[in-house]
Structures are given as structure tokens and as C-alpha cells.
Amino acid sequence: MFSRECAMFEWFRRRTSAHLAALSQASILGETASPPCGKYQPLHKYLKGRFATVVVLKMSEIEDLLGFSLPAHARADREWWTVADPHTPEGDYSRAWTRASRTAEPNLTAGTVVFEEGRG
């Protein structure tokens, strides 16, 4: 029994050491477990915390989550939701759902956005 306990302790020690080393390396490189999404972080957090495969939000609900109004383009231009800002590698706003492993499909007429998990 003693050798089995030692083996389990050794396994746990090695696993913990590897995990701590990985965390240390990430902090040295300035990486985080959940990359920041700027002022769109509340939307990211909300979507990441949903277990449903499909989440439908009214644009007004998204604004309530964020605490500010969406840009005019978000309400008028479908590509704002489906194509990242061409002037940046990936806009903070699109990272909010892409880093939550979701796609965004707006219905501009209804003023809603469908965030679907696992596509794309």
C-alpha cells in the first residue's frame, strides 16, 4: 500500500510541477488564459459562460451587458458581425465571440444576433 501511495504522490507532484511551469511560462510571455477583449469583455464572459449551443441576444441586451451603445455599423452592416475590422488583425468586438468559440449571425431587421458555438 505504501508504494502505491508514493506512486500517486509522485504522479501528483509531477503533474502539479508541469502545470505551475506552464503558468509561469505564460505569465513570462504575458499570456492569459482568456485573452482580453477590451471593452467587449463582458460580452465574451457572458457567451463563454453559456452552456447552450445557440444564444440569441437582442442588440439592446448586448448593449446592456456592455454598458454602452453598439456602433452604428453594428446595427446597419451585417459584415460588422461576420468579418473582423479590416483595419485591425482582429477587432476587440469580434474577439468577444470568437474567443468564446462562437460565430455571430445578425438579423438586422429584428435587431438580434445569433451566437452559435462550434462552427467555423
Give yes or no: residues 55 and 11 share one domain: no
Rounded distance between C-alpha atoms, residue 21 and residue 15, angstroms: 10
Q: How many CB atoms lie within 10 A of CB 74?
A: 18
Quick one: 29 and 44 in the same domain?
A: no
| pLDDT tens readout for residues 58-88 | 999 999 999 999 999 899 999 889 876 555 5
Domain assignment of residue 11, given as a range: 1-33
Q: Are 85 and 31 in contact (CB under 8 A)?
A: no
Q: How many domains does one find in the chain?
A: 2
Q: Is the same domain home to 45 and 20?
A: no
- The reply to whether 24 and 77 lie within a common domain is no
Q: How confident is the model at residue 93 (pLDDT cuts 50, 70, 90)?
A: confident
Task: Note whether 94 and 44 are within 8 A (CB).
Answer: no
Which residue do the cell numbers 507532484 mark?
A: 13
Q: What is the pLDDT of residue 76?
A: 94
Same domain, 15 and 52: no
> Amino acid identity of 68?
F
pLDDT at 14: 62
